[in-house]
Structure 1
Amino acid sequence: MRPEAEPAMKPVFAKIGKPVAAKFRPDPFQLASLEAIRDADCLVMAPTGSGKTWIAEEAIRSVFQKGGRCWYASPLKALTNAKWVEFGNHFDPANVGIVTGDTKENTDAPIIVGTTEILRNQLYDAMHSGENLNCDLVILDEAHFLGDLDRGVVWEEIMIYLP
């Protein structure tokens, strides 16, 4: 069953028409964030829906186009799965892999999406074997989890063990 508009409203809706597509223009904070990421580690904090994902995608694009490798870590499997699909649409599925406790696909891809716990475990493994993560960019989504009493330690350890 599909909801229908009140019949009296249909003429009003018909007059509205379709919105005109506007060209995307990044906000100044997005451009400043990209510049900061190029020069050093960067923490981007902004409200939900303000464009942080665009910053992440552009940072990934910049590293990817130079032949580099990227790791995008998020705290939730559902968010990780969604980013895997989203980044696959942006960068071609062949270039994006996923690593969670349940799923491992295309793990040699130049762009990896996974949970923060998996990233931390990979850092542990690399550290104990005398190797490095072989990654040029790491993005930690939902960094406010750093303050979480139960899981915040995962973010702390990632930041400590990243080169």
Structure 2
Amino acid sequence: MDPDSPWEENPDMNHVPEAEWTKIASEFTNAGYREGIIAGKEAFLQAGFDAGFADIGVPLGRELGNLRGVAAAIRAQILSTQSAESVDLEEIRSISSGLSSIRFADIAPRDLEAEQHAKEHLDVDDPAIIENSDSGSEKAPQERPTMEDMAKLKERLASLSTKLGLPVLA
């Protein structure tokens, strides 16, 4: 028998200590737990996506897209007329600029349940988390447009379209 051969039986290695078994059992339990969490998330993810897409994403995206399209059409109409008033042109530019600055995240309703879940699992000691205030500047954070801002822009657009005899918005 060769004492250096890994294939030879070593009577001391036939019994794995209890600590090793406990460690192995713990690792398999953790792996099973992770797989269960993933399976649970996958089971509900599609239904949640479908509901959010149909009830929130599409209607908001369609409305914002329609407003941007109407603004572009009115701007083109103003520019094509010989008697374009600079007041109207400035107003449609202002409206168009306001509409182009709106992102979906600005107008979508907050998901309070997801925010609460994130807070519960947030590791505040995690160095990867960078807060806006960590920049060191005293500059106030830029305010993003809101749903109310979009409604005001829509009202201004409707008013301008009516004034120009282009009642494209109800």
Same-fold call, TM > 0.5? no
Q: Which has the larger radius of gyration?
A: 2
TM-score (norm 2): 0.20
Quick one: higher RCO (CA 8 Å, sep 6+), 1 or 2? Answer: 2
TM-score (norm 1): 0.21
